[in-house]
Structure 1
Amino acid sequence: MRYFSQFEFDTRLEWGENAIEHMAGDADCVIIVDVMSFSSCVSVAAARGATVYPYPWKDATATEYGDRLGAITASTTRRFEGEGYSLSPASLVKIPPQTKLVLPSPNGSALAFKARDSGAAVFCGCLRNLEATAIACAPFQHILVVPCGEKWPDGRLRPALEDWVAAGGIISHLAKRNLSPEAQAAAATFRALPTDVLRRCSSTCELVERGFTADVDLCLAIDTDDKACRLQNDHFVYV
């Protein structure tokens, strides 16, 4: 499998869980990119002074985990109206500073936990913090950027354009590095693709159809947050 590892390059890119399993062990830094919407939720909440605890399962154990931490557990049902928080970034825009929030996500959270277990530094990147993430990760020698993608109904990975473009945006800010062809391709896509194209991609169409246009606006905002989100033990900190 070594020929899939992009080992000769210091900045690498590959999709989803398999990237973590096969490539994180050779990386000093892993950047998890789940634009719609785990990474965007983390950035929105952290920018407002909340402490975000990722959790890899969307079941009753998430609430139990939150109770042990003395934290609020976000709802596993996406919503931005009513009380409480969820994987809707719009539900988090007024979260009070110092709130402890458990964010259950079998995608972004699960990959962040798996990457942490590899021993690498783990960051959570999205369109909202492209430059800040690149600046925070630049000191690391070997960087693995992981666009999470979405899931088809049968559970298989569905590559998501918004994750590919955001990954490329982060990479494009990592100047003077030896990029793998995969990383180069993502960066080239970010530079070439008009940002309004993402408003017509599959993931966006799904959210708009479900009534979450406000989430789309938050997720597609570029570099509105000026710091990066790094996983420190069991929670993300704003760095």
Structure 2
Amino acid sequence: MGIWEQSAYDVRLDWGAEGVAALGRECAVLVVVDVLSFSTTTDLVVGRGGRVLPVRWRDERGVARARAAGAVIAGEGAFTLRPSSVTEIPPGTLLALPSPNGATLCEAAAATGARVLAGCLRNASAVAAKAHDLGGPVGLIAAGERWGVTIFGHGDTLGPLRPCVEDQVGAGAIAAALAGHGLSLSPEAALAARSVDVTALAGCVSGRELTESGHGGDVTLAARLDVSDAAPMLSEGVLA
């Protein structure tokens, strides 16, 4: 085992695109965790019988392909990256969801050849059960935020990675559920599992950013633990 690897364990955790590159070499399943808000929005869409087409951030060709496939483009109508915008989304909707973190990481994770799931607090146990069924090792990718980018990705530049409370807590909830299936956790995943506190979302930087911009309802939706049976898995570029 290389000094930078977590390969002695069934469940591993790393951050952002670098984490995808590291864990994609050694994990059969990668779970992208972007609690505020890509993964939570995806859970709500899939839970209502819809599908999500992740689109890499600022990929105009990706948006054009999504439009040609008949997808509704988030941000061009009633539906956006915000979880509260999709709570009544009609079943069967294919929603193209561009985001600088979760969607972009899903595409990168798929390129590794791993099976890709989108996890959050709402579906932590359901996603853990699906990952366990698929067979490990399982890599948890805490998306993190980017310095210089607002929570819904409207900043002008993508800065360096900012590890964030919400994705640590979300990845930890999934790690804890995987431990319940008898899987061993790396120290990184075990520490996250011990940090699960949904009340932290309201007071963390990302949660306060949303609340102060009038979107506290999105934090409330994201902070609910194990209220969903959806386990969105990427197949042919679509999460369902």
Q: Return the TM-score normalized by structure 2.
A: 0.91
**Is the 8 Å Cα contact of residues 57 and 106 (structure 1) preserved in structure 2?**
yes
Distance across 2 between alignment mates of 1:224 and 1:84 = 24
Distance across 1 between alignment mates of 2:62 and 2:115 = 24
Query: Which residue of the partner structure matches residue 163 of structure 1?
Result: 167
Residue among 151, 170, 185 paired with 2:191: 185
**Is the 8 Å Cα contact of residues 149 and 159 (structure 1) preserved in structure 2?**
yes
Structure 1 spans left out of the alignment, 5+ residues: 77-82
Count of matched residue pairs: 228
**Is the 8 Å Cα contact of residues 29 and 116 (structure 2) preserved in structure 1?**
yes
Query: Which residue of the partner structure matches residue 138 of structure 1?
Result: 132
1:212 aligns with 2:215: yes
1:127 aligns with 2:127: no
Q: RMSD of aligned C-alpha atoms?
A: 1.5
Give 1:19's aligned amino acid: G
- Report how far residue 23 of structure 1 moved: 1.9
Deviating beyond 2 angstroms after TM superposition, the runs of 4 or more aligned structure 1 residues are 57-63
Distance across 2 between alignment mates of 1:52 and 1:26 = 26
**Is the 8 Å Cα contact of residues 51 and 239 (structure 2) preserved in structure 1?**
yes
Give 1:134's aligned amino acid: A
**Is the 8 Å Cα contact of residues 71 and 93 (structure 2) preserved in structure 1?**
yes
1:228 aligns with 2:234: no
Distance across 2 between alignment mates of 1:138 and 1:92 = 28
Q: Return the TM-score normalized by structure 1.
A: 0.91
Give 1:152's aligned amino acid: W
Distance across 2 between alignment mates of 1:11 and 1:115 = 16
Query: Which residue of the partner structure matches residue 92 of structure 1?
Result: 86
Distance across 2 between alignment mates of 1:169 and 1:7 = 21
Percent identical among aligned pairs is 36
Distance across 1 between alignment mates of 2:200 and 2:186 = 25
Give 2:2's aligned amino acid: R
Distance across 2 between alignment mates of 1:113 and 1:7 = 23
Distance across 1 between alignment mates of 2:113 and 2:7 = 17
Structure 2 spans left out of the alignment, 5+ residues: 149-157
- Report how far residue 21 of structure 1 moved: 1.1
